[in-house]
Amino acid sequence: MVDGTAIFTTDGQVVSSGKVDINTYPVMVRPTLTGFSGYHWVIGGSVIYWPYIIEMQVDYVRTYCPGCN
Amino acid sequence: MSLRITYFFLESDSMIKLIRVTVALFMPLISLTAFSYGADVSSNLSVNVVPPEATGGCGTPSPYVPAGYTCKTAASDEFNGTTLDSTKWKDLANTSLRYVSGGVLHMQYAPDGSNGGIMGTGNNGSGDAPFYLETRTRWPTGEDTGGETNWPFSSDVWQYCSGTGNCGELDVDQRFCANQDINVWAWRGGGNTWDGAGYTGTVGCLGNSANMRDGNFHILGVQVW
């Protein structure tokens, strides 16, 4: 991580931006890819108990970085 | 007493028809969502057509990808075909509650609390920052039943774990908030803190110009450097 800056966007509009304290959160900002399972996407998880099946749909998840392929 | 019921009718892989039925029964704060397949509706429709995509790797970049950034195929998925790519994903929960069809991943949540959650296999991430994460997702319409305390979905999370209970997360989208917004929940620290401490930006339920629960796909991104 260069300086801990993060920008969150929705449909291209910034909804949150700031910096993370890399001293407080070294796990988050200094991954080594040698840990329990590395960086990865997680889709799905917690749910409240709704009386019907509900569904979300994911068209894609993508990871970009400079020079990636 | 007010009872709101939202029905979704899926007729084909390429077209989804949706209708909302509201029944006033004078009981406040009860909101129910249901899916029903194969039904025919002829009014009050909101149609979403899944766009064509690449057959492998990463599809056409959105206009929001930072300049100079390219897609890492191993850590991306277009969810084409009819099966989940086992080289990229492993199941966390109930496999009967997730499937791939029509170019999208269908992720379901059952009344008993089970869900079709998945996570990436192994170390398929990009490594250290800088990186940019993006997902195109849509959620059921309808109102929340109680604001921030409801967590129908934990979804589209970029996670790093160094051991049990010691994970960092970038929650691209994480939960429903009151009435309309999907929140952005920034950081989870090395322990189990969810308060966003250490991050100077705004976290929690963030209002924005897009109604994230309008039944349409929305693109959420996180750039870190």
Find, among B1, B14, B208, the residue nearest to A59 by Cα: B14
Helix (H), strand (E) at residue B5: strand B3-10
User: In this predicted model, what pLDDT tens digit does every residue of A8-37 receive, in sequence order?
Assistant: 888 888 888 888 766 665 544 444 433 333
Q: Within 10 Å of residue A42's Cβ, how many Cβ atoms?
A: 22
pLDDT(A61) > 60:
yes
pTM, entire model: 0.72
Q: Within 10 Å of residue B42's Cβ, how many Cβ atoms?
A: 7
> Max CA-CA distance within chain A?
46
Nearest beta carbon to residue A67 from set B32, B59, B70: B70
Query: Binning pLDDT at 50, 70 and 90, where does residue A6 land?
Result: confident
pLDDT(A50) > 80:
no
* DSSP three-state, residue B16: strand
Residue B178 sits at φ, ψ, to 5 deg, of -55, 125
Residue A64 sits at φ, ψ, to 5 deg, of -120, 150
Give the CA distances from residue A29 to residues A9, A65, B178, in Å, rounded to whole numbers and listed in that order: 19, 15, 30
Q: Tokens 């009050």 belong to which residue?
A: B44
Cα(B206)–Cα(B222) distance, rounded to whole angstroms?
14
Nearest beta carbon to residue A33 from set B125, B187, B225: B125
Task: Name residues of chain B where pLDDT drops below 50.
Answer: 1-55, 126, 144-155, 162-166, 179-180, 183, 186, 189-193, 209
Is ipTM beyond 0.90? no
User: What's the gap in Å between the CA of B170 and the closest CA on chain A?
Assistant: 8
Residues of A in contact with B121 (CB under 8 A): 40
User: In this predicted model, what pLDDT tens digit does every residue of B26-43 receive, in sequence order?
Assistant: 222 222 233 322 222 222
The domain limits of chain B are 1-49, 52-224
Instruction: Tell which of A14, A29, A52, A65 to mutate to test the B interface (max B CBs under 10 Å).
Output: A65
Give the CA distances from residue A58 to residues B27, B108, B130, in Å, rounded to whole numbers and listed in that order: 33, 11, 24
Per-residue b/e over B105-133, b at no fewer than 16 CB within 10 Å?
bbbbbbeeeebbbbbbbebbbbebbbbbb
Residues of A in contact with B108 (CB under 8 A): 53-55
Cα(B150)–Cα(B184) distance, rounded to whole angstroms?
15
